[in-house]
Amino acid sequence: MKAEAIEYGDRRVYSVGAFNRGVASWLARLPTVWVEGEVTELRRQERWASVFFTLKDPADGACLGVSMPRGRFDALRLELADGDRVHVYGRPELYEARGEFRLRALSLERFGLGDHLAALERLKQKLAAEGLFAAERKRPLPFLPRRIGLVTGNDAAAKRDVLTSIQTRFPPAHVLVAETYVQGPRAAGAVIETLRALCGEPEIDVIVVARGGGSFEDLLPFSDERLVRAVADCAVPIVTAVGHEQDTPLCDLAADARASTPSVAARLVVPDLAELLQRLDRHRQGLERGTRRALERERQRLDRTHERLGRAPRLLVERGRSRLEQAAGRLKALSPRGTLERGYAIVRAGDEIVRSSRAVEPGQGVDVELAEGGFGARVEDVK
Contact 188, 129 (CB under 8 A): no
Q: pLDDT of 67-109, one tens digit each?
A: 999 988 988 888 787 878 889 999 999 888 888 899 999 988 8
Contact 382, 362 (CB under 8 A): yes
Residues of the chain with pLDDT > 90, as a percent, come to: 39
pLDDT at 56 over 70: yes
Contact 209, 191 (CB under 8 A): yes
Kindly indicate the confidence band of residue 252, based on its pLDDT and cuts at 50, 70 and 90. Answer: very high
Bridge partners of residue 238, in order along the sequence: 207
Per-residue model confidence (pLDDT) at position 257: 95
Domain with CATH 2.40.50.140 in the chain: 6-111
Q: Please count the CA atoms within 13 angstroms of the CA of 150 that sit on its side-chain side.
A: 27
pLDDT at 117 over 80: no
Classify strands 346-349 and 33-43 as parallel, antiparallel or unpaired.
unpaired
CA-to-CA distance for 241 and 182, rounded, in angstroms?
12
Contact 143, 105 (CB under 8 A): no
Contact 139, 237 (CB under 8 A): yes
Q: 6-111 domain in CATH 3.40.50.150?
A: no
Kindly indicate the confidence band of residue 368, based on its pLDDT and cuts at 50, 70 and 90. Answer: confident
Cα 342 to the center of its chain, rounded Å? 94
pLDDT at 144 over 80: yes
CA-to-CA distance for 290 and 297, rounded, in angstroms?
10
Per-residue model confidence (pLDDT) at position 357: 81
Per-residue model confidence (pLDDT) at position 92: 92
Residue with more model confidence, 184 or 292 = 292
pLDDT at 332 over 90: no
Domain with CATH 3.40.50.261 in the chain: 135-274
Per-residue model confidence (pLDDT) at position 85: 85
Q: pLDDT of 206-237, one tens digit each?
A: 999 999 877 777 888 999 999 999 999 999 99
Q: CA-based Rg of the chain, rounded to a whole angstrom?
A: 54
Kindly indicate the confidence band of residue 132, based on its pLDDT and cuts at 50, 70 and 90. Answer: very high
Per-residue model confidence (pLDDT) at position 149: 96
Which CATH number does 135-274 carry? 3.40.50.261
What is the mean predicted confidence (pLDDT) over 358-379?
84
